[in-house]
A and B are shown apart, each in its own frame.
Chain A
Amino acid sequence: MIKINNLTKKFGKNISLDNVNIEFNKSDYIALMGANGAGKTTLVRSILGYYHPDSGSVEINGLDPIKDRVEVLNNISFVPQLPPPIKLSISELMEYISKSTGVDKGQIEYFSNEMKLDIKANINKSFFTLSGGMKQKLLIAISLARKSKIIIYDEPTANLDPKARDDFYRLLKDNQEDKTLLFITHRLEEVQDIVNREVYMDLGKIVSDKAIII
């Protein structure tokens, strides 16, 4: 599903990804771990087609995420570590997502309710005026509503309280079947009930890749 071949990405003299080779397949639920600067975010951004590799390639279902970005991103949901300060109102953001992905707004509302976020009461508020937790809940709801085959989370629970984290993991468990789930995390204990594979990165390389029996 996701195939990374000899991928190298440099920023000036700094090698962020050093000849990375790895595959993520259907029903792989991966915890991607490593110290700060290990290359986790660079790897995710390369999968999303944000970075032009210095060498090597990324293939998503045989497609190049840069050249075929629309087809590739049709199958990927992404939640960043920190919600960006988007100035659109929630209704405008939902319109953007609904029109660009074809996702039903009702589904976003459904998952928002499941995350205990009252979307209707905040529909005309600018996204950036919501609290950190509310923003993160909405982004999670969007990611689940899209029903993408690949879901990428970059430490999505950083702003969530324990109850919201429980809601999130419950929803994820209910909706992860037959998907590829890639989790950037520093806390394996939080996701160990969900993931079936642990990948460690250090200095731009994959240093460990092992299966976990759930």
Chain B
Amino acid sequence: MKNLYLIAFLDLKESLRAKWFLVYSLVFGGLIALFFIAGVTESQVMGFSGLSRLLLMYIQITIIILPIFILITTVRSISGDRDNHILEYMLSFPISLKEYYWGKIIGRFITVYLPVLLAMIIAIIFGVIKGASIPWSIFFLYTGLLFALSSSFLGIAFFISSFVKSSEVALGIAFFVWILLLAFIDIALISIMMSNRLDEELIIFIALINPMEIFRVSAISLFDPELTVMGPVAFYILDTIKQSTFIFISIAYPILLGLGFAFMGFRIFKKKDLV
């Protein structure tokens, strides 16, 4: 176990020094700062106001940029080390593959989750200073959803990283996964499916297996379910499934999906040639 924490700790330290991490943190922290500067908390649009509106805007942008950030920064984790012979040297020491792989995942998870969480905490602190009321239910829901979304894409990224030999190919696959999942969120999904006259149950099923769509629907589920911005699939899901059940699914499913991919990645990592 000590080697697991050692790998996680060193990966975390290495990531914190990396330029990509600085950009990553600035993007999410900058978003919050921008919202405050733009006076988002003082305005009211379609019933949203104050910090609720700010957090909703933050989460809607996060849906798009968090997965691609996680994918491109993580997908080269193992394949990149393999590419430049770091893996060959680092694995010449008596570290089990299990400790190396899962240590890397833990370290990388902390790296990708912490900035998005901290950005929200900063928003809450600024909100308190400004005297705004704090929407705790939304804050805790979003904390859970971000944890779940980070888990799922981290698992997918490590899965890709474990079987791809070149980091360029890994990057290409990561982009493909992101665009595919992005294309299958709600409005794009339903327009494609409806024009091809597909069964609505299939449409709903495809929506429900997409972690980005689950995240999106759950993020707006605390608001009025009749909002037109939600899209027809989201509307149907929230109309059919009990809200609390759906929130539970929207957190549990992406975590399990991420763990599933991470385990598959580990099996491949163990079974394939290491370098």
- Using A78-B89, A86-B89, A87-B14 as known contacts, list a sample of 5 further A-B pairs with CB atoms less than 8 Å apart, ordered by residue number in A: A50-B274, A52-B271, A52-B273, A84-B86, A96-B6
Q: Determine whether B3 belongs to the interface, using a CB cutoff of 8 Å to chain A.
A: yes
User: Could you write out 5 A-B pairs with CB less than 8 Å apart?
Assistant: A45-B88, A69-B97, A87-B18, A96-B90, A99-B2
Chain A residues with CB below 8 A from B14, complex form: 87-88, 92
Do residues A97 and B272 form an inter-chain contact, with CB atoms below 8 A? no
A92 to B6, CA, bound (A): 10
- Contact of A100 (CB < 8 Å), options: B84, B88, B95, B275: B95
A153 to B3, CA, bound (A): 25
- What is the chain B residue whose CB lies nearest that of A48? B92
CB distance from B3 to the nearest CB of A (A): 6
Q: Determine whether A22 belongs to the interface, using a CB cutoff of 8 Å to chain B.
A: no
Closest A-B pairs by Cβ, 10 of them: A78-B92, A73-B94, A84-B85, A50-B274, A84-B86, A70-B94, A74-B94, A100-B93, A50-B275, A84-B89
Q: Determine whether B192 belongs to the interface, using a CB cutoff of 8 Å to chain A.
A: no
A99 to B90, CA, bound (A): 13
CB distance from A104 to the nearest CB of B (A): 15
A101 to B89, CA, bound (A): 14
- What is the chain A residue whose CB lies nearest that of B91? A50
CB distance from B63 to the nearest CB of A (A): 31
Given A84-B84, A88-B14, A100-B6, A76 contacting B92 (CB threshold 8 A): yes
B93, B95, B96 interface centre (most CB from chain A within 10 Å): B93
Given A87-B17, A88-B14, A45 contacting B93 (CB threshold 8 A): no
Chain A residues with CB below 8 A from B17, complex form: 87
What sequence of 0s and 1s flags, for each residue 251-275 of chain B, a beta carbon within 8 Å of any chain A beta carbon? 0000000000000000000011111
A45 to B85, CA, bound (A): 12
What sequence of 0s and 1s flags, for each residue 83-112 of chain A, a beta carbon within 8 Å of any chain B beta carbon? 111111000100111011100000000000
Chain B residues with CB below 8 A from A82, complex form: 85
Question: What residues of chain A have their CB less than 8 Å away from a CB belonging to chain B?
Answer: 45, 48-52, 69-74, 76-78, 80, 82-88, 92, 95-97, 99-101, 139
Interface residues of B in 1-48 (CB under 8 A from A): 2-3, 6, 10, 13-14, 17-18
A71 to B96, CA, bound (A): 10
Chain A residues with CB below 8 A from B10, complex form: 88, 92, 95-96
Do residues B84 and A85 form an inter-chain contact, with CB atoms below 8 A? yes
Do residues B88 and A84 form an inter-chain contact, with CB atoms below 8 A? yes
Do residues A101 and B91 form an inter-chain contact, with CB atoms below 8 A? no
Given A52-B271, A84-B86, A70 contacting B96 (CB threshold 8 A): yes
A100 to B91, CA, bound (A): 11
A74 to B86, CA, bound (A): 19
CB distance from A96 to the nearest CB of B (A): 6
CB distance from A42 to the nearest CB of B (A): 10
What sequence of 0s and 1s flags, for each residue 67-104 of chain B, a beta carbon within 8 Å of any chain A beta carbon? 00000000000000000111011111111110000000
- What is the chain A residue whose CB lies nearest that of B14? A87
Given A50-B273, A69-B94, A80 contacting B6 (CB threshold 8 A): no
A95 to B272, CA, bound (A): 28
A87 to B13, CA, bound (A): 10
CB distance from B62 to the nearest CB of A (A): 28
CB distance from A145 to the nearest CB of B (A): 12
Given A45-B275, A96-B10, A50 contacting B88 (CB threshold 8 A): yes
Given A69-B96, A88-B10, A99-B6, A80 contacting B88 (CB threshold 8 A): yes
Do residues A86 and B94 form an inter-chain contact, with CB atoms below 8 A? no
A207 to B89, CA, bound (A): 29
- What is the chain B residue whose CB lies nearest that of A11? B273
